[in-house]
Structure 1
Amino acid sequence: MWARALCVGLLAVTVGLIHHLQPDISEAALEYLTSSLHSLSSRETTSSPSFEEALSAAWDQVITAPSRHWGKVAVGVNACVDVVVSGVSLLQALGLNPRSGGDHLVLTSPEELAATFVHYMQRGAAAERFYSDADSFQHISRTATQDPGAKHFVGGNAALIAQRLAGHPHTEILLCGPIGPKLHELLDERILVPPTSLQEQDEYHLILEYKAGEQWGSGRAPAANRFIFSHDLSNGAMTSLEVLLSNLEDFQPKLLVLSGLHMMEGLSQEQRTSRLHEAASALSDVPSDILIHLELASMTDGELMRGIIYQQVFPLISSLGLNEQELLFLTQSANGPHSALSAWSGVPDVGVVSDILSWILQGSGSEGSGLTRVHFHTLAYHIIATIDGFWENQVAAVAAGARVAGTQACASETIDPARVMLKSPLEFSTSQTETGYTARISAKEPVAVWKSGGVTFHFTPVLICKDPIRTVGLGDAISAEGLLFSESKAQ
């Protein structure tokens, strides 16, 4: 690089000197020398692409289509209309004053909303809460929809995943959930909705977004993210689960994507326990040739999480999708590896994450678990971990998930190197509890692969959008894209 720069400089001086000493030099000769200078300079520029450019190009090389597609995918059960608005703008419109943050597991007032919003904004972390007071929620909802910057989108993990899957030409999608007129209008026309899923009114969720560096009072966001809350009784009771399962025989999917278990936190403890038992019982009747992927979301009730892990849901699923907050809460609830960790400090340590993923796949204390794949996503990187012998094409799957994180956040068709940045470690230990090794990422090798105890890990960085257009639904898009490129040996 330095040698080429020196040559360019010397050639530039030479051209100027020749023109000065021999003013009668022909224009053709001078043009030739000048073009040589430009050519050499241009080669210097094009021969050294940025790491972001090189990584994006390397992803394109490793993202190969699976040899077998899913064909038909059934998705349910949480669906709603997302009202997306600036969090700070809404809190100001509600007449709330900046205050110190404090986490409330269930929101009962605008003041608790403000405190919990600040708590997570200061951490740049996503979170979701149930708002228990119906009248207060309606007032806040009306204020949000009147905000000049408010936008309406497809919402709910199931609907968002269905929307992403519907963009794939080889996939037919069935969506079951509480689908009102506005949501039905917003959904991709290729998504099949059974009449039994249609209802007269929509469920609304409020999405309070904030940008990196945005401040409200003493709270400043280190990264762009969002805070979600709702008073959603239909999704909370998972009323559409039986509708979803009753349509499987006629639709005959190869894959069932389930989400919405976290919405049950809005139920009473007794209702929650009963409904989870009913849901697990219904899922146990799903034919064994239909693989089940469960998409988790932000949760606060440890007993509900333990019920999902032990005997209830984990034994029935093959694949799991979750982020860093859900992963930490899962291991805390079940006293798994690193459960004493109260919160992530910056980018989650890859070795710690790998230890927890390995524990989840190797049983996590639940008997007869059928779980063979976990797709973990955090802002800086993604990992797909699989039990050997069950899944293929996971290098492509993890790279595709990371690529869509960058493109969707920036609302672009392809990765724009000027609009993204890297926060991922490019060298890291693969475990913090066992004898691991140091894995490395390079622009030529965008996916690191390693094995531990019958589990294979696939790691790739994320090119983070510097100024994201919309953060809602990124996790759902990531999991959906990963599934599209995944191939199960049971297919």
Structure 2
Amino acid sequence: MLNDTLFSELVEASRDLPGNRWAVGGNAPVMAGRMATEGLAGNIVEEPDIHLILEYPSGASWGNYTSRRANRYIVHSDDHNPYLDSMAEFAKKLKDFDPDLLVVGGLQMMDNFPFRSGERDALLSRLADLLSSSSPQIGVHFEMASFVEESIMEDLLYYVIPYADSLGMNEQELPNLLSLLKGSNITVLSDPNPRVATVLDQMREVYRIINQRSKDSSAESDTNGAKAKPLTRLHVHTLAFQAMIVTRGSQWKNTMSATAKASLTANRHVCGSNDIDPNKARLIMDDSFSVSRREGSQRIPLQETRPVSCWDEEDYEICVAPVLVCTEVYQTAGGGDNISAAGLVLQI
């Protein structure tokens, strides 16, 4: 929103709306907040940027229109995050801090932002320098988001994804990434409730293509003088289930527990409660699922006493966990960040 005055008026008007609330937002603060909640603490920093989020439940009406699913609409006038303003200072701190994990998120703030020609490329190039020059012992997780502009997705394929050990995304972002990796256009709409077999096949293909690219570039250097890293962890969160692919022998541990933790966090965040109330939850995942859409694929039943299913394939392990879907929604914004962060906590 380029009209700062109008945005300020919207912020002021929102203060008096019944049921409104203020919460720390943004991909990085939300993921860091979840990690701190799970026992990993850091310095408290002030977040000055305001994002207005209008959340509405399934069945909500606006004039002649009725929502078929719970959703949200976000408006911001943020000039800081699109320019990655904290990156230079962060790079200085990173040298001495030597973390176990570096999380990259919030790059969707650069989507359709009115940059001058060449500005976004320059910013992402500096980010690529930061990621590629960090210690190989530092795990890098990139949390994707909803991108509309195809050119930024192409930039991410060049500047960010090659230097990430781990990727997190939802059921819409997965087919978008796969389409681009295969040389096609991104999809505007995708299935909001895909089958497990479909998601797993897409995950396998993303994993295979990215790692093949990494192998192909292993003897070469890109324009930054750095080599691509292999992808060793892929986490896809959907409304109905959580799925992870983790390379055997990689730095990521406790895959079954991490998948379960991500699933439970999905319910806790959306319901706004640390306690899971079975009366406010339902399973929408089928009683069994196929591990692939290929004919004759194994079918795995959902066991109540052991709901997380894990098995080995090729050089990786796959884990799938059903989600106890919250039926009394408190907040959906930040759901993916909380879910991904909860899974990462147990794997580093």
Normalised by the length of structure 1, the TM-score is: 0.63
**Structure 1 counterpart of 2:79, which letter?**
L
* Structure ranking higher in helix proportion: 1
2-structure distance, mates of 1:161, 1:168: 11
Return the letter of the residue paired with 1:276: L
Report the 3-state secondary structure (helix = DSSP H, G, I; strand = E; otherwise coil) of the residue aligned with 2:273: coil
- The aligned counterpart of 2:160 is 313
Aligned to 1:273: 121
**SS of corresponding position for 2:73:** strand
1:479 Cα deviation from its structure 2 partner: 0.8
1:471 maps to 2:339: no
Q: What residue in structure 1 maps to residue 302 of structure 2?
A: 441
Q: CA RMSD in A?
A: 2.3
Indicate conservation of the 8 Å contact 2:176/2:187, yes or no: no
Deviations 1:369-419 (A, max 9, x none): 422101111111110111222132110001011111112222222211111
> Per-residue displacement from partner, 1:244-299 (whole Å, max 9, x unpaired)?
22112332211111212211121436322221112111221211111111111221
Kindly provide the amino acid, as one letter, of the partner of residue 380 in structure 1. Answer: A
Which residue identity lines up with residue 290 of structure 1 in the other structure? I
Residue identity matched to 1:371: L
Q: Is the 8 A contact 1:242 1:282 kept in 2?
A: no
Task: Indicate the SS of the match to 1:392.
Answer: coil
1:351 partnered with 2:197: yes
- Measured against aligned partners, the alpha-carbon deviations of 1:217-258 in whole angstroms (never above 9, x if no partner) come to 343223323222212110011111222221123322111112
Partner of 1:294: 142
Take 1:346 and 1:297, find their aligned partners in 2: how far apart are those partners?
15
* Aligned partner of 1:154 among 24, 30, 47: 24
1:33 counterpart residue number: none
Distance 1:267 1:452 in 2: 45
Equivalent in the alignment of 1:56: none
Residue 75 of structure 2 corresponds to residue 229 of structure 1:
yes
CA contact (8 A) 2:166 2:233 kept: yes
Q: Provide structure 2 residue ranges, at least 5 long, that are not aligned to the other structure.
A: 215-227
Q: Distance in 1 between matches of 2:85 and 2:164?
A: 20
Query: Counterpart of 2:233 in structure 1: which amino acid?
Result: R
8 Å CA contact retained: 1:332, 1:340: yes
Partner of 1:402: 263
1:262 touches 1:297 (CA, 8 Å); kept in 2?
Answer: yes
Post-superposition CA distance 1:293-349 (Å, at most 9, x none)? 111122112221122123x21221111111112222222333379x78663334112
Q: Residue type matched to 1:370 in 2? A: P
Superposed counterparts of 1:444-455, under 5 Å: 444-455=305-316
- Please name the residue that 2:179 is paired with: 332
CA contact 2:198–2:292 (8 Å) conserved in 1: yes
Structure 1, unpaired ranges of 5+: 1-130, 184-201
Larger radius of gyration: 1
Residues 43-76 of structure 1 deviation map (CA, whole Å, 9 limit, x = unaligned): xxxxxxxxxxxxxxxxxxxxxxxxxxxxxxxxxx
Pairs within 5 Å for 1:8-407: 131-169=1-39, 171-174=40-43, 180=46, 183=47, 202-265=48-111, 266-268=113-115, 270-310=118-158, 312-335=159-182, 343-364=189-210, 366-367=213-214, 368-390=228-250, 391-407=252-268
Question: What is the CA distance between 1:434 and its match in structure 2?
Answer: 7.7
CA distance in 2, matches of 1:134, 1:428: 50
Task: Note if contact 1:296-1:322 (Cα within 8 Å) is conserved in structure 2.
Answer: yes
| 1:431 aligned residue | 292
Contact conserved, 1:350 with 1:429, CA < 8 A, in 2?
yes
8 Å CA contact retained: 1:238, 1:260: no
Alignment correspondent of 1:120: none
CA distance in 2 between partners of 1:219 and 1:246 (Å): 50
